């Protein structure tokens, strides 16, 4: 009896033992929130998804800081948060990596300025893709096109690298962790990199459609025209003084040819310059050759980051992208004359009145910049301060630190209609290439080749869109070069071009040492008369050195690569 | 005999069993009653014949009987009371009164998967009783532990009700943090539970299960907390390297039902709010800074931002609309807020059943006006143990926590309060609320929606103990635990309105923000299930050889999932439910994911002692973690320790003042697996979408390279200790010194791998090495002088770590290496006062932008240039190396007083909020920074740099010694005398007042609470709590 009782008692214990022993595989399971690599390369949809990410390689301008505040287009009243190194050109091999990063998240503010890590990260992604495309068994109908798009993106990445660093190591295969010990990298020359880009693009073009209509579902994908536009910009850079010290005319010829190939491809300047920068992908237009699109679930907040304190748009970054007087002064008068002469005095032929500075300016001024008395979205902007300092307009920097100190607010890329608040994901597209640039590329190359008439013709085409008079034939030689440079500055303001243009033209040593200025506006409350007084916001003199035309490589990276040479001068 | 096994801890039964094995006959029967100091019978007192394991316990009337010889000595011991020993002689009735042991030196200590007697313990283990924790009115249990357990470092870094941020480490940081954010990698995702991994966190085990809710336990439910610091944690193997915190909750006891009711009401306010500049000073400082920014123009041409008239108006308050002088903290902070707690506990039991029912309620208010912050918590615990048969006991322990947290939809941080510009209006004179800075006036916060979280974890434990009747000494234990935590969060944002004075019309315009109504509902669910099965055996061989062994297995599975729904553009804000939102696809979004981890392991312990004099212990764990790939999953982690009780030796017998003297030592190998999961797998995540033709196309990406060889981090710990008690407790000392070597630390390569390879974040590899060493010292003194019983316990601990290898990129200068320093030590420029004159500035290397009045930075490498290479590695981090605790208990008749001091030193933190003042973003700063700043007229007396202020990077000028000492807790109580109690038929009534963070002394950090998170002073400070309560037992 006792034994039976004991056995009965032991049963529950045995049951528990059994329960445990039947669960020996408790550690074997697959992740629920991610996909194993083996699954990726055997599924057409996942291959497409992998390929889609490759497009993220190219930086657009709608992160927190636009590059404009790192040059003479804007004044940065938020001297912090990744932007401090460029205020007074204090960047160096020791700190430049802080302007970089790999993912959008660990680079939430720098706009991939130090693009090295991000660039090579995506080059590897492209190389992995290209290698896998040669191995896989899955039938992909558009495989050729996917490969071509990937090569276009690789070329674009290399261009982004060389315009910053000069020649960089060319990596055309995907390495694994096992290669760490055996592989080191050294720089290829700038020309080798250009040749590599050219080769990628040339190989690619036949496999791509020339273009998609801007309303097409594929608009935004790489096209043969996008390849050609990238080629045009790359060859223009390659011919520019920074990279072409001997002024090799062959290089200018190649640049001119590359631009010329796009002149008759059916693109047209969009009639309304301001509206052009409010368009989203899907809107009809014939000017933008290649753009980065956004949607309401994958949008940007550029308007919020850059506007002043209106419509809840208190500047998250203190309206830190306030257009500078340096830029404003470079808008011509409607009569076609620049308001200032090269010595900085008022050009008498222009009719510019320093006490009425916003009158009769190139229409692109009003399309790009909100200034005192601008009417935008039905509101009149007021940047004045009363003469006795006791009152100020709603948009004055005195009212709140969220109004740009410069008394100018960026208008380009800002929506004239619709919601304007932090909860909105904005969909305005970022133009990577547009026809106006091709005209400017063409004009610049033709000028350097001595064909001043063609140069004037294409500059004038760009000006004609906004109703500006053509460049008179009297503008020649160095004057014409100045006008070409200036046209590019005006037409492509805030498109992240200026910063690199001044470097490739080798005028940065002059431009970047100039003070950042603005106008303070004083209102006499009794008479209603306004007075404009120029002030210096940032004295940059002596901070820019010739070596800064190319960026340094992070000193950590040099340490990791004994054969990698630092950028000259650093 | 032994019908009443009144024991506090389930596994103590095994010890009891041991006693029964060791019986040998004794002639006469002794009887008696054991009472407490008030004459009330004590139930469950252990009565043991000294030198044997023969013993019994007192019954419900405090009575016992035991057979003992005349020469034997009876020892009476009871948890919470001082033990007494009586020589039997020719007595047949021995009545005894036990005095409470205010030292809480209890006999039995919970260790991993079992209990041990303190005197035969060989590990480095600290313990705190639940009574001590309840002396702190803080609603967060973890904060109450600071300073109480030598070796445990707890720092409260901010004070948000219900989500206090706590740094908790045992013996400092002994490993390196390879958080994916450290090097190129993924970002923080609040919904990814693997994303917030602090590799230095100790393992917290509550009632046998690794659980994460220590802070939210009801302090009244806690029986004891022990901390395993050395090789004794090897029984937790792969998760024991950072030490283990074991929490044991109370259980029922046999006897008549006992009720305990307590209520307390506390008022609290932040310990320290920095003194911020007033409007006039702010304006002056801003003008100064502006003048510097403009290159110090001639005063005749300089147009200040704030005119003299304006500053005068700020100062005299004549125009509070246009020229206010707003004291933002004063406008926004309440004078005090409340915290109230109710607890009701009932326990008791019959012959075969013991139960404990506990209910607790905590209700805490926020400290900001107009802020919906509110924290409410209910704790319910039901514990039942039933002896089904003589041999089989089953039990259940169910704990539910209902945790309701309400915050504002938009987090009001102290940045918004402290740095708000004092020249902005908070409230207009007519009572309308102004927009404030960035339209973020914290007074508007109740108008913009809310963030409500209902977090309802349910913890359950079911146990069974079977004392195998036909094999003496053999016991089987099994438990099954299932925890289910459901959390529902509703984040509702609505447009808000405010008033703004219109300078043109002179009206107060009512403004409404145009943001849409938005709602995010998030449902999160966690589950943990754990099976545990143990076999234990105890035997005494040849009278003196005591052997016990335990072998067990455990499996754990943890899951997490979440689903999130979002809508915006609600027609009205009336119904905050998803269905009321817009159905337009553009206005909807949803997310969700899931994760899982598992452990499988085997563990055991063997104890041997000879005459309780020579002690030996071996523990091990064979641990399998799913974090690692097949083939690398299992690891073996052994620990061995030994002790020698010299006080038991003959040769010390003639030194009667030595009550206890023990040497002990241990060595163990432990593991650590606190790294992100799936690193061995090349895996892809959804994300990085791109847009074609105005439509979203899905993307996938991999954020790390796989490491197929990833495995455990190994910690080798050696400890040596000395425990002594002299003159019966007049003086006691417990000293432990330790050394630890960590290797295989999971760390990312940074030197060897060029970024040109383009790898995504590198995986953790087992490459890092860190050494750690230190000591812990506890000194105690207790004495009785007449009616005054008092004790003083002081503890201090020290830990310092040093990185031995981390694949560091050789820095520009040798003094910058991180290797050789503690993890977390940072680079700083060395400061050497302030440039007072232009000549001084010109003659000294300085970074461009430096002006007279700025900090002089030392050109450490003498290259004539101040750049990043001039930074040096500071040897200390914000984690303190020394922590102190001092507890003093006094008891006089019905009164009791406890004082608890806590402190730390060798910790340094940087305060970047002090670096600049008068910047263009119009941040306010504290008076501490503004006073004695350098100005043209105050050069020699300046202790702070000029307004605006420019530094090339973090300098040690703003690096502050975090040393502080504070009166962390004080409690004064009065128990009504027994004569009154008997009339009102209550067992015990005690009224008390206590407080937390009552007094603070800080060496350098005087403008803010010295414990705040490193970096800035704009965090929610810890609270000072003053509490009044009553406790009734009946």
ipTM: 0.92
The residue written with tokens 């006959």 in the block is B25
Q: Does B516 lie at the interface with A, CB-CB under 8 angstroms?
A: yes
Task: Tell me which long-range contacts A381-388 makes (C-beta under 8 A, separation of at least 24).
Answer: A381/A409, A383/A407, A383/A408, A383/A521, A384/A521, A384/A522, A384/A523, A384/A530, A385/A520, A385/A521, A385/A522, A385/A523, A386/A522, A386/A523, A386/A524, A386/A525, A387/A522, A387/A523, A387/A524, A387/A525, A387/A531, A388/A525, A388/B307
Return contacts of B684-689, CB within 8 angstroms, 24+ apart: B684/A34, B684/A35, B684/A36, B684/A37, B684/A40, B684/A46, B684/A50, B685/A33, B685/A34, B685/A35, B686/A35, B686/A49, B688/A52, B688/A53, B688/A56, B689/A52, B689/A298
pLDDT > 60? residue B7: no
Of A88, A116, A422, nearest to B755 by CB-CB distance is: A116
The string of DSSP letters for B285-316 reads HHHHHHHHHTT---TTT---SS-HHHHHHHHH
Question: Does position A325 have pLDDT exceeding 90, yes or no?
Answer: yes
Pairwise CA distance, residues A260 & B995, whole Å:
81
What are the tens digits of pLDDT across the range B960-1013? 999 999 998 898 989 888 778 778 778 888 899 988 889 999 999 988 888 887
Closest in A94, A398, A557 to B755, CB measured: A557
pLDDT at B136: 76
Tell me the per-residue pLDDT of B234-273, one tens digit each, with 9 for 90 and over.
Answer: 888 878 888 899 999 988 887 778 888 999 999 988 888 8
pTM (two decimals): 0.76
Whether A4 has a pLDDT exceeding 70, the answer reads no
Q: Do A293 and B693 touch (CB under 8 A)?
A: yes
Nearest chain B residue to A520 by CA: give it.
Answer: B303
Determine the pLDDT at residue A430.
96
Going by C-alpha positions, the residue among B245, B209, B111 that lies closest to residue B461 is B209
Q: What is the pLDDT of residue B79?
A: 67
Do the chains contact at A32 and B596, CB–CB below 8 Å? yes
Q: Does B723 touch chain A (CB under 8 A)?
A: no
What the block records as the tokens of B545 is: 């050889």
Identify the helix (H) or strand (E) that includes residue B68. Answer: strand B63-68
Q: Strand pairing of B96-97 and B28-35?
A: parallel
Any B CB within 8 A of A421 CB: yes
Q: At B8, is the pLDDT very low, low, confident or very high (cuts 50, 70, 90)?
A: very low
Could you tell me which of A126, A7, A131 has the C-alpha nearest to residue A58?
A126
Contact at CB, B531 and A19, closer than 8 angstroms:
yes
**Res. B467: pLDDT tops 50:** yes
Nearest C-alpha neighbor of B451 from the set B572, B576, B563: B576
What pLDDT is attached to residue A78?
A: 66
Interchain CB contact of A346 with B (< 8 Å): no
Q: Which residue in chain B has the smallest CA separation from A95?
A: B868
Taking contacts as CB-CB distances below 8 angstroms, the residues of chain B near A293 are: 691-694
Determine which of B756, B760, B867, B924 to mutate to test the interface with A (most A C-beta atoms within 10 Å). Answer: B756
- Rounded Cα–Cα distance for residues B634 and B622 (Å): 7
Nearest to B699 among A24, A53, A183 (CB): A53
Nearest by CB to residue A27, choosing from B305, B633, B751, is B633
Looking at the complex, report in whole angstroms how far the Cα of residue B476 sits from the nearest Cα belonging to chain A. Answer: 8
Residues of A in contact with B627 (CB under 8 A): none
B423, B279 contact by CB (below 8 A): yes
pLDDT for A470 equals 95
Query: What is the average per-residue pLDDT within B203-215?
Result: 84
Among A298-312, B43-57, B121-135, B956-970, top mean pLDDT goes to B956-970
**B447: which strand partners?**
none
Contacts of residue B421 in chain A, CB cutoff 8 Å? 401
Q: Distance (Å, rounded) from C-alpha A461 to C-alpha A439?
A: 8
Average pLDDT over residues B508-517: 87
Could you tell me what percent of chain B has a pLDDT over 90? Answer: 32
List Cβ neighbours of B733 (8 Å cut-off, separation of 6 or more). B722, B723, B724, B777, B778, B779, B780
DSSP letter for each residue of B486-505 = EEEEEEEE---EEEEE-TTT
**Predicted local distance difference test score (pLDDT) of residue B359:** 95
B708 vs A: CB within 8 A: no
How far apart are the C-alpha atoms of B1033 and B259, rounded to whole Å?
5
**Is the Cβ–Cβ distance between B219 and B345 less than 8 Å?**
no
Which of A23, A282, A421 minimises the CB distance to B693?
A: A282
Structure confidence at residue B5 (pLDDT)? 43
Would you call B189 an interface residue with chain A, using a CB distance cutoff of 8 Å? no
Contact yes or no for B702 and A37 at CB 8 A = yes
Chain B positions in Cβ-Cβ contact with residue A421 (cut-off 8 Å): 513-516
What is the tens place of the pLDDT at every residue in B702-722? 878 888 888 888 899 999 999
Q: Which of A499-513, B247-261, B617-631 has the lowest average pLDDT?
A: B247-261
A380 in contact with chain B, both atoms CB, cutoff 8 A: no
Top mean-pLDDT range of A226-230, B546-550, B571-575: A226-230
Asked if the C-beta of A565 comes within 8 angstroms of chain B's C-beta atoms, the answer is: no
For B814, counting Cβ atoms within 10 Å of its Cβ (0-12 exposed, 13-18 middle, 19+ buried), the class is exposed
Does position B512 have pLDDT exceeding 90, yes or no? no
B203-206 and B165-170 strand pairing:
unpaired
| CA of residue B871 relative to chain centroid, distance | 33
3-state SS of B732-745 is: EEEEEEEEEEEEEE
Beta-carbon contacts below 8 Å between A and B: 294
Short-list B20, B340, B375, CA closest to B162: B375
Confidence of residue A79 (pLDDT cuts 50, 70, 90): low
Count of CB atoms within 10 A of residue A342's CB? 10
| pLDDT of B506 | 86
Per-residue pLDDT tens for B340-354? 999 999 988 887 899
Q: Do A56 and B439 touch (CB under 8 A)?
A: no
Q: CA of A474: how far to CAs of A471, A478, A479, in Å?
A: 8, 12, 9
Confidence of residue A531 (pLDDT cuts 50, 70, 90): very high
Show the tokens assigned to A365: 């001024």
**Candidates B295, B595, B698; nearest CB to A33:** B595
What kind and span of H or E run contains A439?
helix A435-448
Say whether pLDDT at B568 is over 60: yes
Contact B705 A177 (CB under 8 A): yes
Task: Judge: B598–A56 Cβ closer than 8 Å, yes or no.
Answer: no
Closest partner CB to A27 (pick from B391, B626, B681): B626
Residues of chain A contacting B493 with CB distance shorter than 8 Å: 423
Cβ count near B628 (within 10 Å): 23
Judged against a pLDDT cut of 70, whether residue B192 lies above it is answered with: no
Across residues B160-176, what is the average pLDDT? Answer: 74
Residue B638 φ/ψ, nearest 5 degrees = -100, 155
Per-residue pLDDT tens over the stretch A84-130:
777 788 888 888 888 877 766 655 666 788 999 999 999 999 999 99
What is the mean predicted confidence (pLDDT) over A31-48? 87
Closest by Cβ to A312, choosing from B476, B514, B758: B514
Question: Within a 13 Å sphere around the CA of A225, how many CA atoms are in the beta-carbon half?
Answer: 25
**Mean pLDDT of the residues in chain B:** 85
Q: What is the pLDDT of residue B963?
A: 94
* Dihedral class, residue B208 (left if φ above 0, else alpha if ψ from -120 to 50, else beta): left
- Chain A stretch 56-115, residues whose beta carbon is closer than 8 A to a beta carbon of chain B: 56, 77-79, 88, 90, 92, 94-95, 101-103, 105-106
Tell me the residue ranges of DSSP E strands in B370-443. 374-387, 392-408
Between CA B944 and CA B928 the distance in angstroms is: 9
Asked whether residue B879 carries a pLDDT value surpassing 90, the answer given is no
CB-based burial, B284-296: b 16+ in 10 Å, e otherwise: bbbbbbbbbbbee
Which of A275-279, A292-296, B543-547, B664-668 has the weakest average pLDDT? B543-547
| pLDDT computed for residue B17 by the predictor | 41
Q: With an 8 Å Cβ cutoff, are B514 and A24 in contact?
A: no
Q: Between residues B769 and A8, which one has the greater pLDDT?
A: B769
* Residue A35 binned pLDDT confidence (cut-offs 50, 70, 90): confident
């Amino acid at each position: 009896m006792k034994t039976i009782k004991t056995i009965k008692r032991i049963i529950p214990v045995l049951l528990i033992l059994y329960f445990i022993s039947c669960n020996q595989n408790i550690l074997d399971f697959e992740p629920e929130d991610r996909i194993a690599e083996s699954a990726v390369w055997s599924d057409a949809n996942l291959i497409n998804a992998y390929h889609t990410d490759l497009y993220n390689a190219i930086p657009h301008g709608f992160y927190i800081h636009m590059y404009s505040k790192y040059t003479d287009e804007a004044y940065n009243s938020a001297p912090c948060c990744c932007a401090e190194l460029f205020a007074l050109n204090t960047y160096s091999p020791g700190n430049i990596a802080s302007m970089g990063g790999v993912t959008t998240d660990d680079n939430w503010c720098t706009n991939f300025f130090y693009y090295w890590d991000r660039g090579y990260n995506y080059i590897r992604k492209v190389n992995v893709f290209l290698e896998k495309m040669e191995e896989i068994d899955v039938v992909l109908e558009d495989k050729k096109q996917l490969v071509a798009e990937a090569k276009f993106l690789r070329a674009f990445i290399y261009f982004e690298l060389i315009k910053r660093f000069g020649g960089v190591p060319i990596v055309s295969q995907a390495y694994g962790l096992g290669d760490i010990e055996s592989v080191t990298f050294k720089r290829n020359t700038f020309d080798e990199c250009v040749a590599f880009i050219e080769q990628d693009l040339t190989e690619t073009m036949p496999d791509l459609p020339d273009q998609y209509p801007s309303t097409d579902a594929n608009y935004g994908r790489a096209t043969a025209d996008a390849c050609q536009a990238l080629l045009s910009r790359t060859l223009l850079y390659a011919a520019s003084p920074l990279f072409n010290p001997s002024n090799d005319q062959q290089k200018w010829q190649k640049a001119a040819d590359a631009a010329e190939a796009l002149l008759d491809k059916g693109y047209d300047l969009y009639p309304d310059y301001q509206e052009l920068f409010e368009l989203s992908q899907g809107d009809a237009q014939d000017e933008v050759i290649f753009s980065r699109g956004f949607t309401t679930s994958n949008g940007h907040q550029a308007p919020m980051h850059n506007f002043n304190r209106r419509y809840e748009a208190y500047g998250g970054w203190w309206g830190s992208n306030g257009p500078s007087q340096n830029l404003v002064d470079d808008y011509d008068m409607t009569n076609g004359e620049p308001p200032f002469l090269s010595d900085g005095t008022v050009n008498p032929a222009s009719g510019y009145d320093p006490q009425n500075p916003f009158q009769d300016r190139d229409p692109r001024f009003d399309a790009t910049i909100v200034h005192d008395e601008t009417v935008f979205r039905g509101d009149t902007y007021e940047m004045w301060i009363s003469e006795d300092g006791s009152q100020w307009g709603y948009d004055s920097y005195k009212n709140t630190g969220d109004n740009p100190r410069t008394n100018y607010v960026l208008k380009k890329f800002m929506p004239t209609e619709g919601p304007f608040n932090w909860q909105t994901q904005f969909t305005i597209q970022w133009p990577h290439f547009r026809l106006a640039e091709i005209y400017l590329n063409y004009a610049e190359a033709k000028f350097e080749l001595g064909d001043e008439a063609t140069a004037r013709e294409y500059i004038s085409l760009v000006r004609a869109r906004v109703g500006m008079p053509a460049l008179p034939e009297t503008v020649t030689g160095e004057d014409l070069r100045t006008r070409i440079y200036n046209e590019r500055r005006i037409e492509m303001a805030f498109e992240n071009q200026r910063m690199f243009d001044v470097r490739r033209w080798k005028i940065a040593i002059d431009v970047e040492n100039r003070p950042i200025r603005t106008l303070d506006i004083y209102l006499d409350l009794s008479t209603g008369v306004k007075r404009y007084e120029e002030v210096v916001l940032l004295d940059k003199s002596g901070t820019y050195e010739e070596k800064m035309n190319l960026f340094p490589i992070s000193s950590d990276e040099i340490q990791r690569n004994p054969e990698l040479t630092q950028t000259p001068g650093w | 005999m032994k019908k009443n096994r009144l024991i506090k801890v389930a596994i103590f039964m095994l010890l009891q069993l041991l006693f029964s094995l060791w019986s040998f006959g004794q002639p006469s029967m002794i009887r008696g009653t054991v009472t407490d100091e008030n004459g009330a019978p004590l139930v469950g007192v252990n009565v043991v014949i000294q030198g044997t394991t023969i013993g019994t316990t007192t019954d419900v009337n405090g009575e016992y009987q035991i057979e003992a010889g005349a020469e034997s000595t009876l020892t009476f011991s009871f948890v919470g009371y001082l033990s007494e020993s009586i020589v039997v002689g020719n007595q047949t009735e021995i009545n005894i009164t036990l005095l409470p042991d205010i030292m809480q030196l209890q006999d039995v200590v919970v260790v991993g998967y079992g209990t041990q007697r303190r005197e035969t313990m060989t590990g480095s283990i600290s313990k705190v009783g639940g009574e001590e924790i309840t002396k702190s009115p803080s609603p967060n249990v973890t904060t109450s532990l600071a300073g109480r357990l030598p070796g445990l470092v707890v720092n409260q870094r901010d004070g948000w009700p219900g989500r206090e941020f706590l740094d908790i480490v045992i013996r400092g940081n002994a490993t390196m943090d390879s958080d994916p954010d450290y090097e190129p990698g993924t970002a923080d995702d609040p919904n990814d539970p693997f994303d917030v991994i602090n590799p230095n966190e100790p393992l917290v085990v509550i009632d046998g299960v690794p659980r994460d809710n220590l802070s939210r336990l009801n302090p009244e439910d806690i029986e004891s907390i022990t901390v395993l610091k050395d090789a004794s944690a090897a029984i937790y193997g792969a998760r024991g390297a950072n030490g283990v915190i074991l929490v044991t909750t109370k259980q029922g006891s046999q006897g008549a039902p006992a009720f305990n009711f307590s209520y307390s009401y506390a008022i609290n306010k932040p310990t320290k709010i920095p003194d911020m500049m007033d409007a006039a000073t702010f304006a002056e400082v801003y003008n100064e800074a502006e003048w510097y920014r403009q290159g110090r123009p001639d005063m005749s041409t300089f147009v200040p931002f704030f005119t003299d008239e304006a500053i005068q108006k700020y100062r005299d308050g004549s125009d509070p609309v246009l020229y206010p002088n707003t004291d933002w903290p004063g406008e926004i902070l309440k004078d005090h807020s409340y915290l109230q707690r109710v607890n009701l506990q009932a326990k008791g039991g019959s012959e075969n059943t013991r139960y404990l029912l506990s209910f607790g309620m905590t209700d805490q208010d926020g400290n900001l006006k107009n802020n919906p912050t509110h924290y409410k918590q209910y704790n319910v615990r039901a514990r039942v143990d039933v002896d089904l048969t003589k041999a089989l006991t089953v039990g259940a322990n169910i704990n539910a926590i209902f945790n309701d947290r309400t915050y504002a939809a938009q987090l009001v941080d102290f940045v918004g309060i402290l740095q708000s510009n004092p020249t902005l209006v908070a409230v207009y004179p007519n009572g309308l609320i102004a927009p404030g800075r960035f339209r973020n006036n914290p007074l508007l916060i109740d108008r913009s929606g809310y963030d409500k979280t209902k977090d309802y974890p349910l913890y359950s434990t079911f146990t069974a103990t079977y004392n195998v009747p036909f094999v003496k000494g053999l016991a089987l234990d099994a438990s099954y635990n299932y925890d289910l935590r459901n959390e529902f969060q509703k984040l509702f944002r609505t447009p808000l309105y405010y008033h703004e004075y219109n300078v043109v019309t002179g009206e107060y315009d009512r403004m409404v923000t145009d943001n849409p109504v938005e709602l995010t509902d998030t449902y999160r669910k966690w589950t943990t299930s754990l099976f545990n099965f143990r076999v234990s055996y105890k035997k005494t061989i040849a009278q003196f050889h005591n052997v016990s062994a335990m072998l067990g297995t455990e499996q754990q599975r943890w899951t997490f999932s979440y689903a999130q729904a979002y809508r915006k553009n609600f027609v009205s804000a009336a119904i905050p439910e998803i269905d009321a939102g817009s159905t337009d696809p553009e206005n909807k979004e949803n997310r969700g994911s899931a994760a899982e981890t598992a452990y499988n392991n085997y563990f055991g312990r063997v104890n041997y002692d000879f005459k309780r004099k020579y002690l030996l212990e071996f523990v091990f764990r064979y641990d399998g973690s799913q974090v690692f790939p097949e083939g690398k999953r299992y690891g073996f982690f052994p620990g061995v320790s030994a002790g020698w009780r010299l006080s038991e030796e003959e040769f010390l017998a003639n030194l009667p003042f030595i009550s206890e003297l023990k040497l002990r030592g241990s060595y163990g190998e432990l593991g650590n697996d606190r790294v992100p999961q799936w690193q061995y797998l090349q895996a892809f995540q959804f994300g990085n979408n791109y847009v074609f033709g105005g439509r979203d196309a899905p993307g996938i990406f991999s954020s790390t390279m796989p490491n197929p060889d990833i495995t455990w981090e190994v910690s080798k710990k050696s400890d040596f200790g000395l425990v002594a008690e002299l003159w019966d407790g007049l003086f006691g000392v417990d000293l432990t010194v330790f050394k630890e070597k960590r290797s295989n630390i999971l760390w990312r390569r940074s030197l060897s791998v060029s970024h040109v390879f383009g790898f995504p974040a590198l995986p953790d590899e087992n490459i890092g090495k860190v050494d750690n060493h230190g000591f812990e010292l506890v000194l105690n003194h207790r004495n009785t002088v007449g009616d005054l019983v008092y004790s003083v316990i002081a503890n201090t601990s020290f830990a310092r770590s040093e990185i031995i290898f981390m694949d560091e990129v050789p820095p520009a200068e040798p003094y910058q290496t991180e290797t050789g320093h503690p993890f977390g030590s940072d680079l700083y420029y060395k400061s050497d006062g302030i440039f007072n004159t232009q000549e001084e500035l010109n003659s000294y290397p300085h970074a461009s932008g430096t002006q007279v009045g700025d900090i002089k930075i030392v050109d450490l490498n003498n290259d004539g240039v101040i750049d990043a290479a001039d930074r040096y590695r500071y040897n200390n981090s914000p984690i303190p190396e020394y922590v102190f605790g001092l507890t003093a208990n006094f008891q006089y008749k019905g009164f009791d007083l406890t004082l608890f001091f806590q402190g730390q030193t060798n910790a340094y933190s940087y305060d970047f909020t002090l670096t600049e003042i008068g910047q263009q973003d119009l941040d306010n700063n504290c008076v501490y920074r503004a006073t004695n700043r350098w100005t043209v007229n105050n050069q020699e007396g300046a202790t702070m740099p000029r307004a605006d202020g420019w530094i090339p990077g973090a300098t040690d000028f703003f690096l502050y010694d975090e040393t502080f000492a504070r009166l962390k807790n004080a409690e004064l109580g009065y128990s009504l005398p027994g004569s009154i109690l008997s009339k009102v038929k209550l067992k015990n009534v005690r009224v008390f007042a206590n407080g937390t963070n009552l007094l603070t002394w800080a060496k350098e950090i005087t403008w803010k609470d010295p414990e705040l998170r490193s970096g800035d002073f704009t965090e929610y400070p810890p609270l000072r709590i003053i509490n009044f309560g009553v406790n009734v037992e009946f």
